[in-house]
Amino acid sequence: MKTNLLIATVAAAALLLPGGAAATGSTNPAPRADSSPTAAPETTPMERVSAYTTPSIVYLDIEWAGRVYDTYNGQFLNDGNPFYYSFSCTGYVVNSGGYIATAGHCVDVGEVRPMFFRDAAQWALDNGYYVSKTLTLDDVLGFGDYVVMAPDANVRRPSRDVTVAWSVSAGGVQTGKALPARVVKSQSFSQGDGALLKVEATNLNAVPLNTDDLEIGTAIVAIGYPASVDLVTDATFSPSFKEGSISSKKTVSNGLLTVYEISAAVSGGMSGGPTVNLDSEVVAFNSFGINSQIETQQFNFVRPASIVAELLGDAGTSNTLSEDSVAYRAGLDAYFAGDKTTAVEELQSVVDSQPTHELATQYLEKAKDLPDPPPPEESGSSTGLVVGVLVGIAVLALAAVAVVLLVVRRRRSRPGPAQTYAVVSPSPGPAPVPPAPAPPAAVTPTAVMTPTPLSAPPSAGAAAGTVTAAPTPAAGDAEEEIFCPECGTKHGPHQRFCTHCGSAL
């Protein structure tokens, strides 16, 4: 039984070793390794932010036109011709159904109206419109006689044309192609400085909003199209990405609105662009700065993303990403993690849906260049191998302990030196005479033989542990001397044990 126990223990160890049936703990095949991450590509946080957000960033062009009417003299200035102004800002897609967020001052007529008045007054002074030759620009503006009218309508406001264009082809929109946009919601600077635009396009690549409060020191990236860059370089639709962090938390509008100071450099043209965290979520948008005319170092401020979320709610919609937007981000997640299988699968689905999606196509090719994942048997057996080895070592240790215990038990069960038994000499007196044999009885076919015991039972008075002397032989029996086979001691013919060493005779 002990041998069977040992065999069973060793057999269990063999089953638990790598390659045995119990190595994986199940008869099911090992899981697929198709989606196991391989070597992740070397990238920077800026590259990742650019990849996630660029398809959502739009270049905003705002064109203003209006005629200035002098209510005091009852005539239009500039010979009745309109004044024109053009501005650039930045926006970003917040709903795949065509909703784009930007800064309110980019589309606020209150921001541009003073420009019409100033240019009209300057025209009046330059062309002798006023009789007095001593009037200054501030004097004319102080009259308050001007209103701005639409170029071709009797409406007291200038016309506004807003167009948006993408820096990369995405969502069916080609690079540089301008789409007209209408202003759905707009806030003045003191009300929050947010605006919501709408273009007639679907399946655009939206970027998610994160409305959590920002902690001081949070790493951010301000994105936009700085107009100053176009002054010294060729004009392009490529946005700039400015690294920085949250420097402080402030309030404006008598404490009603929160703004964040950032260390990232932001300049004109980047207004309305998103400020994102390193997870490429919009946490704020670029709003305003204090330029070098007031401070030797420029200070820039952003508004929280909660303002945009409120505008979306007022418009009856929300921050929604299309299936392609979700797949694009999932594909990038997988690519930057080195998961070739998932990256190719997700990005391929985007390219199939949006063949002109430039970045999806680019990163799909990069994903295809990632190392192939290990084959299923290698990936599936690595963990089982380690577990199997550890369990096998433990079971073999138990088997070794069982062997040691078995050996110790066997040693303890071996017989020790022969014990010496005390032999009681026959008590004095006449030896018992065996009964005379009975005369043979006639055997008949029906007679039954009674079995006779091979030895007589000990007498009632015999002490426990003693040996009863054999009966004295009958007269005429030959006396035979007996010698101990172990020590050679001579004994009488009826001794059963050696009186010297105790061995059986």
Q: For the chain, list the domains and their CATH numbers.
A: 45-321 (2.40.10.120), 418-424+470-505 (no CATH)
Q: What is the average pLDDT value for the chain, to the nearest integer?
A: 79
Rounded-to-integer distance, Cα 368 and Cα 87, Å:
42
CA distance between the termini of the chain: 36
Residue position matching structure tokens 């044309």: 161
- Cα–Cα distance for residue pair 61/102, rounded to 1 Å: 12
Residue 38: count of CB within 10 angstroms of its CB: 15
Please give the Cα distance from 55 to 186 (Å, whole number). 24
Angle value at C-alpha 315, between 153 and 103, nearest 5 degrees: 70
Q: CB burial class (10 A; 0-12, 13-18, 19+) of residue 282?
A: buried
Residue 236 clears pLDDT 70, i.e. is over it: no
In Å, how far are 220, 450, 498 from 377, measured between CA atoms?
A: 43, 80, 76
- Of the listed ranges 218-222, 261-265, 288-292, 462-466, the one predicted with least confidence: 462-466
Lowest mean pLDDT among 312-316, 338-342, 347-351, 379-383: 379-383
What is the predicted pLDDT for the residue at 198? 98
Please indicate whether residue 195 or residue 299 has the higher confidence score (pLDDT).
Answer: 195
pLDDT at 97 over 90: yes
- Is the Cβ–Cβ distance between 434 and 474 less than 8 Å? yes
* Position 92, amino acid: Y
CA torsion, points 282, 288, 292, 298, in degrees to nearest 10?
Answer: -30
Report how far residue 272's alpha carbon sits from residue 225's, in angstroms, rounded to the nearest whole number: 10
Give the integer Cα–Cα distance in Å for 196 and 383.
53
Return the minimum-mean-pLDDT range out of 3-12, 142-151, 347-356, 495-504: 3-12
When pLDDT is cut at 50, 70 and 90, the band that residue 377 belongs to is low
CA distance 127 to 119: 12
Which comes out higher in pLDDT, residue 407 or 335? Answer: 335
Summarize pLDDT for 354-375 with one digit per residue, the tens. Answer: 999 999 999 999 999 999 888 7
What the block records as the tokens of 402 is 């069982």
| pLDDT for res 316 | 96
Residues in a beta bridge with 127? none
% of the chain residues with pLDDT over 70: 67
